[in-house]
Amino acid sequence: MKNISKSIDKVDAHEKIAGETAYISDIKREDMVYAMTLRSPVASGTIRNITLPTLPEGYAAVGPEDIPGRNLVTMIYEDWPVFPEKRVNYIGEPLMLLLGPDKERLASLLDAVEVDIEEDTPVLDYSHSGVHLHYEKGDSDKAFADADRIIEETYTTGYQEQAYIEPQGFVGYIEDETYTVIGSIQCPYYVHEAVKVTLDETDENVRVLQAPVGGAFGGKEEFPSVMATQLAVALKKIKRPIKMIYEREEDMVSTTKRHPSKTTIRAAVKDGRITGMTSHIGIDGGAYIGLSEVVLSRGMLAATNAYTIEHLDVDGDVYLTNTVPNGAFRGFGAPQMIYAIEMFMHHAAKELGEDPFSFRKAHMVKQGDWTSTGGKFRDPILLDEMIEKAADISDYHKKRKAYEDENVYKGIGMSWFFHGCGFTGSGEQHIIKSRVEVEKDAQDTVYIHVAAVDMGQGPKTTLRKIVADVLDLPIERVIFDYPDTHRVPDSGPTVASRTAMIVGGLLARAAKTLKETWREGEAQKVEKRYQQPDYVEWDGECMKGDAYPAYSWGVNVVEVEVDKHTYEIDVKDVYSVYDLGKAIDERIVLGQADGGQAQGVAYGYLEVMSRENGRLKQTNMTDYIIPTAMDMPKTDNHLIDNPYPYGPYGAKGGGELTLVGGAPAVAQAIEQAVGRRVRDIPATPEYLMELIHNG
């Protein structure tokens, strides 16, 4: 048998490198106008009046009164208005659109709008819980009562901006009486549903097309629905093609980011082992809940990461603040929690005077263990082998010892972690209900019909590879066009590390059926629907059972040197080992590893976004610092096969896994280099200075 992991050139690599790909900003329509957004200048207030200047011929304004359907954007939790009617809840909140053919003219009209808002005091702290979740396992009260020692620590994490290369954008037009929007999006059907409801139209009268996406990282999961509904309302009113592309600063101040968080972990220790744990994670949801509840739940489900703790009590809150709503970002709540628990295990060992590495290993999960929610780790867990490999290639143990010397400003840190693949709980079964089609025409050319989006992570290549391999066809004979809701079924959103495993799995099954029933020279079509593996049992209400059908695993080792004069952090080396079942294409996965680690490590020490009185301070790419090629060292990454029986060729999820362990690994390394405990990230030079000078 051929090895599916053997890399091929990405199918869109050439056109992207050659600059031929037409992204959303390259698309133009005849008679097109531009849309610009009027935004709230205040964090909290009540609109008294908005006075428009006289609009010239060909210019229009669109606001809440123009919405034909419901003034709430359809998403998992619905509290986000298309345009607010009375209350404004954050700086930058879109109040209305101005439309017209000339951008400079639009900009000066926008300046001339008088916005009269009665301002009140914004909520900016963790005081207003909008969602509270809780779950427990065993009897933590008893564990604490019996403990001979209790250890507690609190951790905070900051914002993170997705910093996709291409800002958010859409072009909309009416064609054959169909409201058509094409955009830089992750989830064509989310946008479809939201536009349909806002316009009060039928399924057929709304069509959503995906343009090539220049990066997303979760930022184009739910936010595009907000933008598309506004554009659609305008489209219905003015009936002319509209282009709406955010400028970078506008994008940064008004789109979703990773939730800042605060996590407190308490452990009951008996005979040198943690027997029970209570955790509370609070995330800053911003002004609307949106996806925050699901982000919170994924965070809470990672409360014990890759450790087995018998007695557990986990609480979480989404706090509402008068700031830009936070939302999906690669990792989805897990990076915050995994950071906290990895640091906690490390610090707990120090408190107990034990060697952190051995202490953590002694608590590590094994196949057959109960998960934090009382589900089961059914499949083989290869962490032992992976950790050994990571330690080996990085020379971890020797360096760890050598860097203990106080005069050496070097450090090495190791994290190990999991990531649940696919939607949480029975989300795939009950919410997503993924459908795929594989079709062939009379010339025996095969077409993949799914709504999965390639945003750089490679499904245009990997999904074709799967179908071509099953059918034993050259990849050129398998076509996968950009999704169009008029032509492809809803295979679900491109999120949650689900595309290769779930959508790829369904496609493999569809291709297999097609192969078995193949009739040469005849048009044929096969459809497959998602079926949850029988073993998955999940009680969403109590958060009990199997939160995920499968888990991917990883180990990160990061080495740093800290400058003793400037406290600057130099990331020297990154080593990793990953188990994501089976790579459908090795180079694509290693590409995900390089990118995910850069994003994850930088989350731990580099990327700063802060706010003052509800206003973000870093709002462009000069001030919001992401790593350059100079900042990230050459990485040494390894994959290890551990095929998952329900995934195509054994594949599990890989998109998010490579990000979630970066922060604790780099934070531990920094901690060793400066000889002080790191609790808050990003651990910037400014923070290290305070730690060093004030303990």
Partner 1 sequence: MNKIPESLNEALQYLKEGTYDVLAGGTDIMLKNRGYAEAPVPFKKNMLYIFNLDELRYIATHDEHIAIGAVTSYASMLRHPDVPDILKRSIRQIAGPALRHVATLAGNIGNASPSADGVLVLYLLDARIILASADGEREVPIEDVITGPGKHTIRPEEMIKEIRLPRRTFSNTFFKKVGARKADAISKTSLAGAARLHDNVVEELRIAIGAVNVTVVRDRSIEASFKGLTLEDLKARVDEVAAAYDSLIRPIDDQRSNARYRKQVSFNLIEAFIRQL
CB of 373 to partner 1, least distance (A): 40
Residue 143's nearest CA partner among 302, 313, 300, 304 is 313
Size of the site for partner 1 (CB under 8 A): 30
Going from the C-alpha of 622 to that of each of 230, 599, 604, 608, 618, the distances in angstroms are 29, 17, 19, 12, 8
Q: Print the binding letters for residues 623-642 with partner 1: x by CB under 8 A, - otherwise.
A: x-x-xxxxx-----------
Residue closer to partner 1, measured from CB, 25 or 154: 25
Instruction: Kindly tell me which of 587 and 615 has the beta carbon lying closer to partner 1.
Output: 615
* Binding track, positions 561-580, relative to partner 1; x by CB under 8 A: ---xxxxx------------
Six token digits for residue 684: 């910037």
Please give the Cα distance from 415 to 600 (Å, whole number). 12
Specify the residue, 517 or 566, whose C-beta has the smaller distance to partner 1. Answer: 566
Helix (H) or strand (E) holding 608: none
Token code pair at residue 343 = 């640091």
Structure tokens at 690: 């305070």
Query: In the complex with partner 1, which residue's Cβ is closer, 32 or 133?
Result: 32
Q: How far is the CB of 283 from partner 1 (least distance, A)?
A: 23
22 binds partner 1 (CB under 8 A): no
In terms of CB distance, is 402 or 689 closer to partner 1?
A: 689
Instruction: Find out whether 289 and 283 touch, Cβ atoms under 8 Å.
Output: no
d(CA 299, CA 281): 8
The tokens for 32 are 């097109």
Selected binder of partner 1 within 103, 142, 397, 433 (CB under 8 A): 103
Q: How far is the CB of 388 from partner 1 (least distance, A)?
A: 33
Q: Are the beta carbons of 477 and 24 closer than 8 angstroms?
A: no
Q: Which amino acid is at 323?
A: T
Which CB sits closer to partner 1, 104 or 472? Answer: 104
Residues in region 588-607 near partner 1 by CB under 8 A: 606
Between 49 and 694, CB nearer to partner 1 = 694
Rule CB under 8 A: is residue 200 a binding residue for partner 1?
A: no
Shortest Cβ 609–partner 1 spacing (Å): 9
Between 33 and 488, CB nearer to partner 1: 33
- Minimal distance, residue 95 CB to partner 1, in Å: 20
Residue 119 or 686 having the CB closest to partner 1? 686
- Is 685 an interacting residue with respect to partner 1 (CB under 8 A)? yes
Q: Quick one: 392 or 690, whose CB is closer to partner 1?
A: 690
Residue span binding partner 1 (CB under 8 A) among the ranges 145-153, 227-235, 408-416, 682-690: 682-690
Q: Which is nearer to partner 1, 359 or 624 (CB)?
A: 624
Q: Examine residue 622 and tell whether it contacts partner 1 (CB under 8 A).
A: yes
Query: Directed axis angle between helix 188-199 and helix 223-238, to 10°?
Result: 40
User: Out of 22, 107, 112, 165, which residue is the one contacting partner 1 (CB under 8 A)?
Assistant: 107
Q: Three-state secondary structure along 531-566? A: CCCCCCCEECCCCEECCCCCEEEEEEEEEEEECCCC
Beta strands 129-137 and 311-320 are: antiparallel
Smaller CB distance to partner 1: residue 254 or 532?
Answer: 254
- Give the per-residue contact string, 212-231, with partner 1 (x = CB under 8 A; - = no): --------------------
| Candidate residues 51, 534, 693, 695; the one interacting with partner 1 per rule CB under 8 A | 693
User: What are 311's strand-pairing partners?
Assistant: 276
Pick from 615, 616, 597: which is nearest to 606 by CA? 597
Handedness of CA 425, 374, 534, 507 (dihedral sign): positive
- Should residue 542 be labelled a site residue for partner 1 when binding is judged by CB under 8 A? no
Q: 244 to 273, contacts with partner 1 by CB under 8 A?
A: 245, 247
Piece of 37-45, 110-118, 189-197, 560-568 that binds partner 1 (CB under 8 A) = 560-568
613 binds partner 1 (CB under 8 A): no
**Contacting partner 1 (CB under 8 A), which of 304, 326, 497, 618?**
618
Q: Is 163 in the site for partner 1 (CB under 8 A)?
A: no
- Evaluate whether 390 touches 414 at the Cβ level (below 8 Å): yes
What angle is formed at CA 220 by the lines to CA 215 and CA 221, rounded to 5 degrees? 130
Tokens of 620: 């462009």
Using the contact rule CB under 8 A, the part of the chain among 211-219, 332-340, 617-625, 667-675 near partner 1 is 617-625
Q: How far apart are CA 605 and CA 620, in angstroms?
A: 19
Contact present, 135 and 60 (Cβ < 8 Å): no
What is the torsional sign of CA 488, 489, 492, 498?
negative
What percentage of the chain's residues is helix, strand, coil (to nearest 5)?
30, 25, 45
Candidate list 25, 156, 205, 635; residue touching partner 1; CB under 8 A? 25
**Shortest Å, Cβ 237 to partner 1:** 23
Q: According to CB under 8 A, which one of 268, 412, 502, 608 is a site residue for partner 1?
A: 608
315 neighbors 133 (Cβ within 8 angstroms): yes
Residue partners of 291: CB distance under 8 A and separation at least 6: 75, 76, 77, 221, 222, 256, 327, 328
Choice between 64 and 101, CB closer to partner 1 = 101
Minimum separation from the CB atom of position 347 to partner 1 (A)? 25
Q: How far is the CB of 289 from partner 1 (least distance, A)?
A: 28
On whether the CB atoms of residues 229 and 184 are closer than 8 A, the answer is no
Task: Give the span between the Cα atoms of 215 and 221, in whole angstroms.
Answer: 11
Residue whose entry in the numeric block shows the structure tokens 């900042």:
631
Contacts of 541 (CB under 8 A, 6+ apart): none
Min separation Cβ 618 and partner 1, Å: 5
Nearest to 593 by CA among 660, 659, 683: 659
Least CB distance to partner 1 at residue 617 (A): 4
**Beta-strand pair 446-449/435-440:** antiparallel
Residues of span 468-507 touching partner 1 by CB under 8 A: none
Sign of the torsion angle spanned by Cα atoms 466, 470, 471, 472: positive
Residue 280 to residue 152: CA distance in whole angstroms: 11
User: Which is closer to partner 1, CB of 2 or CB of 565?
Assistant: 565
CB of 689 to partner 1, least distance (A): 6
Among 13, 120, 617, 641, binds partner 1 (CB under 8 A): 617
Q: Is 447 helix (H, G, I), strand (E, B) or coil?
A: strand
Residue 398 makes CB contacts below 8 A (sequence gap 6+) with none
**Interacting stretch for partner 1, rule CB under 8 A, among 97-105, 183-191, 285-293, 591-599?**
97-105
- Contact segment (CB under 8 A) with partner 1 among 72-80, 440-448, 582-590, 683-691 equals 683-691
Position among 31, 57, 104, 111 found at the interface with partner 1 (CB under 8 A): 104
Q: What is the contact surface with partner 1 in residues (CB under 8 A)?
A: 25, 34, 102-104, 107, 245, 247, 564-568, 606, 608, 610, 617-618, 622-623, 625, 627-631, 685-686, 689, 693
